[in-house]
Amino acid sequence: MSPPDAPHSRTRAALHAVRLHRAQQALDRLFRELPMGKRLRTGAFLAFKGALGASLAFAIGHALHTEQAFWAAISALAVTQPHYLDSRGAGRDRCIGTVLGGIAGFLGLWLGRSADVLTFAIALAGVTIVCWAANVGQAARIAGITTAIVLLVPAVGPSWEIPLYRLGEVVLGTLCALVVGWLVSRMEERVERKDEEGAT
């Protein structure tokens, strides 16, 4: 039997979800209404962060002879956001999703076999439910992608190596994106301060 305040908490959660969706829409509208110069500057800083973070991640991964260094570059690009706090949140979600997806993929390989559709579907559904139950729903998409990579992309070697290499490449890419993002954000803040001082 559910506690008496359960319907109230469900209503409150639904209201929070609606408010969050509206806030996201309002932020999107505000960004679209920015003057062209501001949008271009934000885009230029984002392009610089993405290119530098991804290149650094790929170069380090290649130098360390990781299995597929391009996953480090992809992770850096996926984590890079216009604002540093958003990048930090995306990095956390990517690492959590990769760990959970790697575990689901490994269990799928252990229980079934690579490229088996039924095993893949069960692992994908399972890891998505686990993410939402653990209150890390934002990581569910990454967990699903990692599960798909581990189970569907052909690889040579022991099955435990695939999720382990993927996790290492994702962590490398995430760290590169966060370091570069933090440094470039400091530059961006200085540029904005100078603009504000020039306008006054």
Answer yes or no: do 46 and 22 share one domain: no
Answer yes or no: do 105 and 184 share one domain: yes
Has residue 183 been placed in a domain?
A: yes
Answer yes or no: do 106 and 24 share one domain: no
Question: What are the tokens at 15?
Answer: 């209201």
Residues 6 or more apart whose CB falls under 8 angstroms from that of 53 comprise: 76, 77, 79, 80, 173, 176, 177, 179, 180, 181
- Quote the number of domains for the chain: 2
pLDDT in tens, 43-99: 888 999 999 999 999 999 999 987 788 989 998 998 898 888 888 888 888 889 988
pLDDT on residue 8: 67
Residues 6 or more apart whose CB falls under 8 angstroms from that of 112 comprise: 118, 119
Task: Select from 2, 175, 9 the least CA-distant residue to 76.
Answer: 175
Has residue 108 been placed in a domain?
A: yes
Has residue 35 been placed in a domain?
A: no
Using pLDDT thresholds of 50, 70 and 90, give the confidence band for residue 189.
confident
Answer yes or no: do 153 and 192 share one domain: yes
Has residue 58 been placed in a domain?
A: yes
Answer yes or no: do 117 and 54 share one domain: yes
Q: Is the pLDDT assigned to residue 146 strictly greater than 80?
A: yes
Has residue 136 been placed in a domain?
A: yes
Has residue 99 been placed in a domain?
A: yes
Answer yes or no: do 82 and 26 share one domain: no
Using pLDDT thresholds of 50, 70 and 90, give the confidence band for residue 1.
very low
For 155-191, give the DSSP string: --S-TTHHHHHHHHHHHHHHHHHHHHHHHHHHHHHHH
Answer yes or no: do 15 and 66 share one domain: no
Q: Is the pLDDT assigned to residue 195 strictly greater than 80?
A: no
Answer yes or no: do 8 and 84 share one domain: no
Report the b/e string of 125-139 with b at 16+ CB within 10 A.
Answer: ebbbebbeeeebebb
Has residue 195 been placed in a domain?
A: yes
Q: Are 144 and 124 in contact (CB under 8 A)?
A: yes
pLDDT in tens, 4-55: 565 667 777 777 777 877 877 776 677 677 678 787 888 888 999 999 999 9
Answer yes or no: do 18 and 112 share one domain: no
Question: What are the tokens at 93?
Answer: 């979600």
Tell me how far apart the alpha carbons of residues 62 and 69 are, in angstroms, rounded to a whole number.
5
Answer yes or no: do 20 and 87 share one domain: no
Question: For the chain, what percent of residues have pLDDT higher than 70?
Answer: 86
Answer yes or no: do 25 and 47 share one domain: no
C-alpha pair distances (Å), 124 with each of 27, 56, 141: 32, 31, 10
Q: What is the mean pLDDT of the chain?
A: 83
pTM over 0.75: no
Using pLDDT thresholds of 50, 70 and 90, give the confidence band for residue 172.
very high
Enclosing domain of residue 19:
1-30
Has residue 36 been placed in a domain?
A: no
Looking up tokens 């991964």 gives 61
Answer yes or no: do 13 and 87 share one domain: no
> How would you class 143 by CB atoms within 10 Å of its CB: exposed for 0-12, middle for 13-18, buried for 19 or more?
buried
Who has greater pLDDT, 165 or 185? Answer: 185
